[in-house]
Each structure stands twice: as structure tokens, then as C-alpha cells.
Amino acid sequence: MKAITLIILSVSVWSCAERMDEDPALSTILTVGKKMPSFVYTTPDGVEKSSDDLKGKVILINFFATWCGPCIKELPYLQEKVYETIQDQEFVLLCLGREHNAEELNVFAEQKKLNLPFYPDPDRKIYSLFAEKFIPRNFLINREGTVIFEGTGFEKNEFDSMVKLIETELDH
């Protein structure tokens, strides 16, 4: 009987550890209040750019993958509610394809009829500065370079709140 109790207890502890491990907050590296790290990203036409060149702008960084269901659900909203709506010289949107190259992103954009600014992150070099796992992820950075919003997954109400926060930041 003691052996069965011990096994049940061991399985329960292991299950709790797994659930705790599945909490996106535990895998988030760049949290609200922290400064955005410097990184180099590559444009679809192969030009390398530095995030340092974006200082003084409001930046939304979206991490996604072409195989991710919630990402595929979120991207049309991102295109309609952010990319096509918020036209401001002080705003930059970076959609980083985690573990994707430029060619894969181009094919995906064409198939899904998306015209978002997709940038490859094939080796998770950029993603690893922000989080360890889970997508989609959004990080909103203010003009001072500080994270003011971090969201994981796609939930329409949270997304709408993020869009309002972008608009508020641009009104400052």
C-alpha cells in the first residue's frame, strides 16, 4: 500500500511540475519594465538591420511560426488592426518567423494572402533574447526602449487591449 501511495504521490508531483513548466510566464525572458536587447534582423531581401536603429520609435515585435494554429489565427488581426490601420512614422512592426527562413515566410505570406513585414529568425537567435518557448508572442516597446506589454498566445480581448496601448503610446 505504501508503494502505491508513493507512486501516486510521485506522479502527482511530476504532473504539477509539468503544469508549472507549461506556464508561459516561466519561459518569458524579457518582461514588462525591462529594456529591449539589441539584435540584428534580416529583411526579406537579405539586408541586415540593427534594432538599435529603431530607438525612439514604438515597436511591436510579434514572434510566430507558420505551423502554429494560434499564430495563424492572430496574423490576420495583426494585419488588419495594426499593420493596415496604424500608419505612423514613429511605429515599427516586426513579425519574426521563429525557425523560418525568408523563402518559407514568402511562401506562407502568399498562401495566406498576408502582406505583413515578415523577418526570418531561423535559429531563434532573436527569439532567445525574449523567451524560451511558446508562440505567438507579442512585445510592445515604448520610445524609451522599455517593454510595456508582453503577451503570449492569442486572445482577441488581450489583442484589442494591446492595440489600444499602441495607439496611446503614439498619442504621447
Superfamily of domain covering 25-171:
Glutaredoxin (3.40.30.10)
104: its cell numbers: 518559407
Residue-wise pLDDT tens for the chain (172 aa)?
A: 444 433 333 333 332 223 334 777 776 878 899 999 999 999 888 899 999 999 999 999 999 999 999 999 999 999 999 999 998 899 999 999 999 999 999 999 999 999 999 999 999 999 999 999 999 999 999 999 999 999 999 999 999 999 999 999 999 7
Domain boundaries, the chain: 25-171
Q: How far apart are CA 56 and CA 123, in angstroms?
A: 28
What dihedral angle (degrees, nearest 10) is formed by the CA atoms of 121, 59, 116, 165? 130
Cell numbers 503577451 correspond to what residue? 151
pTM score, whole prediction: 0.84
Cell numbers 514588462 correspond to what residue? 32
The pLDDT score that the predictor gives to residue 40 is 97
Helix (H, G, I), strand (E, B) or coil at 160: helix
